[in-house]
C-alpha cells in the first residue's frame, strides 16, 4: 500500500500521462452554447481575480503595515456611510455586468424549438436507453450500457483508455443538426450530461424534460450521469458519436437492417449451447454489477444466483423474477429492457452456470407467454 | 424588558443536593455546562465524520474499487454530510451560543434552562440512531444528505433511522432557537439596546429565527418521504400522481437558509475576534446588522439555484439566478467592513486572529465560487460535479469550521481559566490552512474537467488531482488531532498559564470586562448596567 502511495504520488507529480490529466478548465466546447458557457466562465474568472487582487492586496498590506509589533497605533474610526454606499453600489453594478451575458446564454440554452432530430434518453438504474423519436433515424431504439469490463474496475486487468467512459451502443447523431434530447427515467432521478456540448438535464421518472444541442465538430464525446441514482451512479456513462451526414445515413440504414434481423422470429427454437453463449453476454452486460461474475452476488442486497433456490428451482418462478423484478428491491423488471430472446438466453445461462446444473433450456416463446 | 436580578437570595452552589459526577451532566440546567456538552459532542461528531471522509478519500486515491463497494460508498458520503452538518457544525455553534450569549448580554443563564438541557440530550440519541443505521439490513442511508426522492423511498430501514434522527435533531434546534430568541429579547442587561449588543449575539438572534422558519419545512419533507415509504402515499411518486421535483423544492427551501444558518454565527465570531485583535471597534456596526439581515432574508428567495438542471421554466431560472447573485452584495459589505476594521488597527496575530484572517481569505474564495455557480449557464456544467464539493467545503470548512476554531481559541481562556498553548495553536492553524487548500483547491479543477460527485470510481484523467486531494485530506484530518490535544490540555488536563480576566487587550464585551477567568459557574446574578 505504501509503495502504491509513493508510486502514485510520483506519477501524479511527475510523468503527466495523458494531456487530459491536470486539466484546469472546461473540456473544449463543440457547440455554440458550450462556447458561450466557456466564455462566461472566463469573464467571471477575470472579474473574480480582479476583485481577489484588490481585496487581498488591501488585506495583506494592512497585515503588513498595521501591526502592533511595528509600532502602528490603532485609529478609532468605526463608521462611514459614504463608504458603505460605495461598496454596496460598485459590486451591484459589477453583478449587472455579469447578469447581462448570462441572461442571453440562459435564454438560448432553453430554446429547444425547431429541432432537426428528437431523441428520448431514458435513465435506468444503471444504464441509458435511447429512442429516436423524430427526424432521420426515427424508430431506432437501443440500450447503452457501460462497456468497461468488471476486471478493470476490480483492478484485475489494466485500465483502458476510456475507462468508465465507454459504452456498448453509443448515441449517434449527425454534425451540424439541432438535436433535441427528451429526458425521462424509469426509476429514480438521473441526469444526462455531456460536457463538450454544454448540456445537462435531469431525467425524472414520470416526467419528460428537454434540452438541445447542435454539435459543430465531428468526434466522440463522453459524459456521465449527473444525479445520484444508487449504487452504480458512477457507472452509467453517455457516449455520443457526432458523424457526417453521410455516415449518419449509413448508420441509420444499418440500424434498421440489424433491427429487422434481430427481430424476434416467433417460436424459433434455440439450442441450449446457443442460449448459454448468448446468455453469458447478456449476463455480462446487465447482471454482473450486482450478481457478480462468480454468481455469488453481494448478499444481503444482491443475492447469490449460484446455488439459489430460484435459479435451480421452478423455471416459471425464475422467469417471473427476471421479467418482473422484485418490487421494493433493486431487482429491476428486465422484461421492459430485454427482448424475449435475451431473457430466455440469460435465464438459461443462469440455470446452467457456476454450480447450477439444472440442464434446463428456456425458449423465447416461453418468456413471451409469461409476459402478461 | 430586562430586570435587575435579586441577589440576596441563596446561591445555587450552596444547595446540598447539587449533583456531581455523571448526574451533574445529565441533569444540569447551567448554560456553561450545556455549552460544554454541545462543544464536546460536536467535536466527537467532527472526528467521526472525518473518519468517514478519510475512508472516502482512501477509496478515491486511485481509479478502480479497492476498499469499499459502491453501495457502502454512498452510505459514507451520505453519513459524512449528515454527521458534519447536523452533528458537528450546528451543535458547535449552539455550544458557542449557550456559553457566550448569557455572558455577553449580562444575563445569568438562558431563559428556559430546563428545555436547554433537553435540547442537548436529544442529540446523542439522534447520533446513536445514525450510527446504528450502519448496522441494519441495507446499511446507512445512501441517497446523499439531500435524500432526494424517489431514491430515498427505495432505501432500506437505515433511511427510516436517518429520517427519525433528523427529526430529533430538528426538534433540538427549534427548542434551542426558541431559547436563544427569548433570552436575547428579554434578558439583556439594562442599557444594552439591540443596537448595542455584540455582533455574535445579533447573528445568533437572526440565525435562531431562520431555524424556526425552516426546520419544520425539512421535517415536512422527510415525513412525506417516510409516508411514501410506508403509508402508500405518492407525494413523490409520479405513477401515483406525485412529483419528485416537489421534494427538491421543499427540501431546498429548508436547505438554502440552512447553509446560511451554518455561516451566520461564524460571521458573528469573526466580528468579535477581528476588533479584539485589531484593537479597534468593528467598522460599520449598523451596516453589519443590516447586511446580516439582508443575507438572511435573501436566503429564503434563492433555493432553486440548487435545481438549475431540473427543468425549471426560463422565467424561474432568471429570477433565481438574479436573486442568488444579489446575495454577493451584503456578503461583500461584511467582508469590506471586516477589512476596514483591520485597516489602521494595531494588529497582533495570536491563534484566534490567525484563524479569523484565514477565514477571511478562504471564505471569500468560497464566496467567489458560489457566485460562479449562481450563473445558471455555467452551473449547467458544474452542477453535481466536484466544483460544487469544492465550493461548499470552502465556505463550510474554511468558513464555519475555521470560525469555530477562532472562537474556541479566543474564548477558551474564559471557559477554562487557562491559556491554550500558543505554539500548538499556531501549528494547528498553519497545518490546517495548508492541508485544507491542498485538499479542496484541486477539486475545482476536477469539476471543471468533468468529474461528477458522489462516485466511488472515476475515469483515468482525474487520477492525479484525486491523489493530491487524498494526501491533503489525510494531512488535514491528522492536524485536527493537534487541536484535540490543545483543547484537552487546557480544559481537562488543566495545563497552561493561568488566564487573566482579560487576556486579549482589545476585547471589550461583558464577559471580558466583568467576569474573571474562568467565568464562575453562575455569573451575573446582578446584571451590570451598560452605558
> What's the pLDDT at B113?
96
Peptide bond into A70 cis (omega under 30): no
> What's the pLDDT at B309?
97
Residue A263 has pLDDT above 60, yes or no: yes
pLDDT, one tens digit per residue, over A87-132 is 999 999 999 999 999 999 999 999 999 999 999 999 999 999 999 9
Shortest distance, CA A261 to any CA of chain B (angstroms):
35
Shortest distance, CA A47 to any CA of chain B (angstroms):
10
> What's the pLDDT at B20?
85
- Which positions of chain B have pLDDT values less than 50? 1-11, 16
Which helix (H) or strand (E) covers residue B360, if one does? helix B351-374
Q: Is B6 a catalytic residue?
A: no
Shortest distance, CA A30 to any CA of chain B (angstroms):
14
Q: Is B80 a catalytic residue?
A: yes
Task: Give the closest of A110, A155, A210 to B66, CB-based.
Answer: A155
Confidence of residue A290 (pLDDT cuts 50, 70, 90): confident
Closest by CA position to B274, among listed B195, B332, B358, B393: B358
Q: DSSP letter for A122, please.
A: E
Confidence of residue A240 (pLDDT cuts 50, 70, 90): very high
Which grid coordinates belong to A165? Answer: 467512459
Shortest distance, CA A56 to any CA of chain B (angstroms):
7
Task: Give the closest of A36, A200, A229 to B309, CB-based.
Answer: A200
Residue A223 has pLDDT above 80, yes or no: yes
- Best of B229, B230, B309 to substitute, by most chain A Cβ atoms within 10 angstroms, is B309
The pLDDT mean for chain A works out to 91
Shortest distance, CA A119 to any CA of chain B (angstroms):
17
pLDDT, one tens digit per residue, over A15-40 is 434 457 889 999 999 999 999 999 99
Residues of chain A with Cβ-Cβ distance to B283 below 8 Å are: 77-80
In the block, cell 428456456 appears at A362
Task: Give the closest of A25, A74, A110 to B448, CB-based.
Answer: A25
B309 touching A (Cβ < 8 Å): yes
B285 touching A (Cβ < 8 Å): yes
The pLDDT mean for chain B works out to 95
Closest by CA position to B190, among listed B439, B3, B25: B3
> What's the pLDDT at B444?
98
Residue of A nearest to B380 (CA): A200
pTM greater than 0.80 (yes/no)? yes
B213 touching A (Cβ < 8 Å): no
- Which of B38, B204, B260, B386 is catalytic? The answer is B260
- Best of B375, B458, B471, B474 to substitute, by most chain A Cβ atoms within 10 angstroms, is B375
Which grid coordinates belong to A153? Answer: 474496475
Measured between alpha carbons, how far is residue B54 from residues A26, B390, B473, B518 in Å? Answer: 28, 16, 7, 36
Q: Is B173 a catalytic residue?
A: yes
The contacts found for B519-522 with CB under 8 angstroms, 24 or more apart, are B519/B32, B519/B103, B519/B414, B519/B415, B521/B12, B521/B13, B521/B30, B521/B32, B522/B11, B522/B12, B522/B13, B522/B30, B522/B108, B522/B109
Which helix (H) or strand (E) covers residue A243, if one does? strand A237-243
> What's the pLDDT at B30?
97
Closest by CA position to B360, among listed B347, B377, B372: B347
B217 touching A (Cβ < 8 Å): no
**Cβ–Cβ below 8 Å for A67 and B150:** no
- Which of B38, B99, B145, B504 is catalytic? The answer is B145
**Cβ–Cβ below 8 Å for A66 and B237:** no
Rounded Cα gap, residues B314 and B266, in angstroms: 35
The contacts found for A270-277 with CB under 8 angstroms, 24 or more apart, are A270/A341, A270/A344, A270/A345, A270/A361, A270/A363, A270/A364, A271/A361, A272/A348, A272/A352, A272/A361, A274/A345, A275/A344, A275/A345, A275/A348, A275/A349, A275/A361, A275/A362, A276/A345, A276/A348, A276/A349, A276/A352, A276/A353
pLDDT, one tens digit per residue, over A57-86 is 999 999 999 999 999 999 999 999 999 999
Residues of chain B with Cβ-Cβ distance to A229 below 8 Å are: 151
- Best of A234, A235, A296, A301 to substitute, by most chain B Cβ atoms within 10 angstroms, is A234
Amino acid at each position: 500500500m505504501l509503495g502504491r502511495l509513493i508510486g502514485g504520488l510520483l506519477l501524479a507529480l511527475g510523468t503527466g500521462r495523458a494531456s487530459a490529466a491536470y486539466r484546469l478548465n472546461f473540456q473544449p466546447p463543440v457547440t455554440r452554447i458550450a462556447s458561450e458557457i466557456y466564455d462566461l466562465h472566463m469573464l467571471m474568472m477575470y472579474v473574480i481575480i480582479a476583485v481577489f487582487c484588490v481585496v487581498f492586496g488591501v488585506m495583506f498590506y494592512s497585515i503588513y503595515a498595521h501591526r502592533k509589533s511595528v509600532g502602528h497605533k490603532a485609529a478609532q474610526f468605526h463608521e462611514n456611510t459614504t463608504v458603505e454606499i460605495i461598496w454596496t453600489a460598485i459590486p451591484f453594478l459589477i453583478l449587472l455586468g455579469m447578469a447581462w451575458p448570462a441572461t442571453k446564454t440562459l435564454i438560448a440554452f432553453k430554446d429547444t424549438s425547431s429541432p432537426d432530430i428528437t431523441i428520448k434518453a431514458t435513465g435506468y438504474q444503471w444504464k441509458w436507453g435511447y429512442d429516436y423519436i423524430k427526424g432521420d433515424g426515427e424508430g431506432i431504439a437501443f440500450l447503452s450500457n457501460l462497456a468497461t469490463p468488471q476486471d478493470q474496475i476490480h483492478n484485475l486487468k489494466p485500465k483502458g483508455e476510456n475507462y468508465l467512459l465507454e459504452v456498448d451502443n453509443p448515441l449517434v447523431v449527425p454534425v451540424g443538426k439541432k438535436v433535441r434530447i427528451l429526458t425521462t427515467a424509469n426509476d429514480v432521478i438521473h441526469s444526462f450530461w455531456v460536457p463538450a456540448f454544454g448540456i445537462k438535464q435531469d431525467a425524472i421518472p414520470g416526467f419528460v424534460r428537454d434540452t438541445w444541442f447542435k454539435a459543430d465538430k465531428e468526434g466522440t464525446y463522453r459524459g456521465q450521469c449527473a444525479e445520484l441514482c444508487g449504487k452504480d451512479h458512477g457507472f452509467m456513462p453517455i457516449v455520443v458519436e457526432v458523424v457526417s451526414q453521410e455516415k449518419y445515413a449509413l448508420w441509420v440504414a444499418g440500424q434498421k437492417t440489424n433491427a429487422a434481423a434481430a427481430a424476434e422470429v416467433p417460436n424459433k427454437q434455440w439450442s441450449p449451447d446457443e442460449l448459454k453463449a448468448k446468455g453469458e453476454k447478456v449476463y455480462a452486460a446487465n447482471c454482473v454489477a450486482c450478481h457478480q461474475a462468480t454468481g455469488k452476488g453481494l448478499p444481503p442486497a444482491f443475492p447469490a444466483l449460484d446455488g439459489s433456490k430460484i435459479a435451480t428451482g421452478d423455471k416459471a418462478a425464475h422467469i417471473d423474477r427476471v421479467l418482473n423484478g422484485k418490487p421494493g428491491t433493486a431487482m429491476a423488471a428486465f422484461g421492459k429492457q430485454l427482448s424475449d430472446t435475451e431473457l430466455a438466453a440469460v435465464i438459461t445461462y443462469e440455470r446452467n452456470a457456476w454450480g447450477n446444473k439444472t440442464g434446463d433450456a428456456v425458449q423465447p416463446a416461453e418468456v413471451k407467454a409469461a409476459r402478461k | 424588558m430586562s430586570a435587575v436580578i435579586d441577589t440576596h437570595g441563596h446561591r445555587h452552589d450552596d444547595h446540598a443536593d447539587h449533583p456531581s459526577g455523571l448526574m451533574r451532566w445529565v441533569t444540569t440546567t447551567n448554560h456553561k455546562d450545556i455549552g460544554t456538552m454541545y462543544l464536546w459532542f460536536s467535536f466527537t461528531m467532527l472526528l467521526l465524520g472525518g473518519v468517514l471522509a478519510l475512508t472516502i478519500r482512501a477509496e478515491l486515491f486511485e481509479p478502480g474499487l479497492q476498499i469499499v463497494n459502491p453501495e457502502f460508498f454512498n452510505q459514507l458520503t451520505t453519513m459524512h454530510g449528515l454527521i458534519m452538518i447536523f452533528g458537528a457544525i450546528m451543535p458547535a455553534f449552539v455550544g458557542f451560543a449557550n456559553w457566550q450569549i448569557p455572558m455577553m448580554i449580562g444575563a445569568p443563564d438562558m431563559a428556559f434552562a430546563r428545555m436547554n438541557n433537553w435540547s442537548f440530550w436529544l442529540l446523542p440519541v439522534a447520533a446513536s440512531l445514525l450510527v446504528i443505521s450502519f448496522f441494519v439490513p441495507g446499511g446507512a442511508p445512501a441517497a446523499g444528505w439531500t435524500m432526494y426522492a424517489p431514491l430515498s423511498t427505495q432505501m432500506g430501514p437505515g433511511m427510516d433511522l436517518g429520517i427519525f434522527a433528523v427529526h430529533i435533531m430538528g426538534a433540538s434546534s427549534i427548542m434551542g432557537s426558541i431559547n436563544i430568541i427569548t433570552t436575547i429579547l428579554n434578558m439583556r442587561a439594562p442599557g444594552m439596546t439591540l443596537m448595542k449588543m455584540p455582533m455574535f449575539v445579533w447573528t445568533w438572534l437572526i440565525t435562531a429565527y431562520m431555524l424556526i422558519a425552516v426546520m419544520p419545512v425539512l421535517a415536512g419533507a422527510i415525513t412525506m418521504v417516510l409516508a411514501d415509504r410506508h403509508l402508500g402515499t405518492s407525494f413523490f411518486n409520479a405513477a401515483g400522481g406525485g412529483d419528485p421535483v416537489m421534494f427538491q423544492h421543499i427540501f431546498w427551501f429548508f436547505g438554502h437558509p440552512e447553509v446560511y444558518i451554518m455561516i451566520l454565527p461564524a460571521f458573528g465570531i469573526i466580528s468579535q475576534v477581528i476588533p479584539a485583535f485589531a484593537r479597534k471597534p468593528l467598522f460599520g456596526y449598523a451596516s453589519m446588522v443590516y447586511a446580516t439581515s439582508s443575507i438572511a432574508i435573501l436566503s429564503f428567495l434563492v433555493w432553486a439555484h440548487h435545481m438549475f438542471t431540473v427543468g425549471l421554466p426560463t422565467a424561474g431560472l432568471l429570477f433565481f439566478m438574479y436573486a442568488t447573485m444579489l446575495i454577493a452584495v451584503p456578503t461583500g459589505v461584511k467582508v469590506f467592513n471586516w477589512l476596514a476594521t483591520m485597516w489602521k488597527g494595531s494588529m497582533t496575530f495570536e491563534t484566534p486572529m490567525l484563524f479569523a484572517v484565514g477565514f477571511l481569505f478562504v471564505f471569500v474564495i468560497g464566496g467567489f465560487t458560489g457566485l460562479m455557480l449562481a450563473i445558471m449557464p455555467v452551473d449547467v456544467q458544474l452542477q453535481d460535479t466536484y466544483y460544487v464539493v469544492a465550493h461548499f467545503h470552502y465556505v463550510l470548512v474554511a468558513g464555519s469550521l475555521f470560525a469555530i476554531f477562532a472562537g474556541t481559541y479566543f474564548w477558551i481562556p474564559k471557559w477554562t481559566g487557562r491559556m491554550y498553548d500558543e505554539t500548538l495553536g499556531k501549528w494547528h492553524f498553519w497545518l490546517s490552512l495548508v492541508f485544507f487548500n491542498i485538499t479542496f483547491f484541486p477539486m475545482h479543477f476536477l469539476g471543471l474537467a468533468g468529474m461528477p460527485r458522489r462516485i466511488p470510481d472515476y475515469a483515468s484523467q482525474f487520477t492525479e488531482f484525486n491523489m493530491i486531494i487524498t494526501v491533503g485530506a489525510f494531512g488535514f484530518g491528522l492536524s485536527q488531532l493537534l487541536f484535540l490535544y490543545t483543547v484537552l490540555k487546557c480544559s481537562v488536563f488543566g495545563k497552561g498559564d493561568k488566564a487573566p480576566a482579560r487576556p486579549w487587550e482589545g476585547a471589550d464585551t461583558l464577559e471580558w470586562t466583568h467576569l474573571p477567568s474562568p467565568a464562575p459557574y453562575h455569573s451575573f446574578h446582578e446584571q451590570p448596567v451598560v452605558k
